[in-house]
């Protein structure tokens, strides 16, 4: 306070008017505050993204409409996401308001098999279980399927003459399509035998 009063007295002695100087400093401060607001928001949001470990590199996430994919890089100001179609999304961390992280736990995939009525249901269920066990143990494919996956059983009986059998596969969300296709393919090959 004494230092400030001393400087003010020096300005009065040299007859320097402080009002225009303080006014221009205030305007410059307002301009800088408005201009740096997005930058500061990005830094703070990036800090919370990194320190709270809500997402990490390699996670499959959705951060908004049309922005879904695997995280390739996280910085204080930006998050880089590689989309399924290969597009590279670079999003400022200040604009990430909601994150859906599909990689934190295994997600559930329902696979339904319509079977013509009159078939040996026990034999079909056995084939589904056996192929599921083969995929869980990883003997054929490189896909990781949880041992909690199971053949749910008869889901529905449809008219005319159709039974729907459901299998629950638990795997990474990003592998849903591949696991679904591989399991259906393997089952069809078993049915052909």
Tokens of 174: 């990003």
Tokens of 140: 């054929």
In tens, the pLDDT along 27-81 reads 888 887 888 888 888 888 888 877 877 788 888 888 888 888 888 988 888 889 9
Q: In what side-by-side order are the strands of the sheet with 162-171? A: 107-116, 162-171, 150-158
- pLDDT, the chain, mean: 84
What is the pTM assigned to this prediction?
0.54
Q: Is 91 exposed, middle or buried (0-12, 13-18, 19+ CB in 10 A)?
A: middle
- In the block, which residue shows the tokens 């408005």? 34
**C-alpha 142: how far from its chain's center?**
22
Q: What are phi and psi of 78, to 5 degrees?
A: -140, 155
The mean per-residue pLDDT over the stretch 23-29 comes to 81
d(C-alpha 63, C-alpha 6), whole Å: 54
């Amino acid at each position: 306070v004494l230092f400030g009063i001393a400087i003010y007295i020096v300005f009065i002695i040299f007859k320097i008017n402080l009002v225009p100087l303080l006014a221009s400093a205030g305007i410059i401060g307002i301009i800088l505050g408005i201009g740096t607001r997005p930058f500061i928001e990005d830094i703070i949001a990036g800090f919370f993204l990194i320190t709270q470990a809500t997402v990490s590199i390699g996670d499959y996430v959705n951060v908004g409409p049309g922005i879904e994919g695997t995280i390739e890089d996280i910085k204080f100001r930006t998050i880089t996401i590689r989309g399924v179609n290969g597009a590279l999304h670079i999003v400022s961390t200040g604009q990430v308001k909601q994150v859906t992280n599909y990689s934190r736990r295994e997600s559930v995939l329902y696979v339904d098999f319509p079977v013509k009525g009159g078939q040996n249901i026990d034999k079909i269920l056995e084939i589904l279980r056996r192929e599921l066990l083969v995929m869980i143990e990883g003997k054929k494919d490189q896909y990781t399927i949880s041992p909690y996956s199971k053949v749910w059983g008869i889901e529905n009986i449809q008219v005319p003459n159709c039974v729907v059998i459901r299998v629950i596969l638990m795997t990474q969300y990003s592998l849903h399509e591949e696991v679904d296709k591989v399991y259906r393919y393997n089952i069809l090959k078993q049915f052909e035998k």
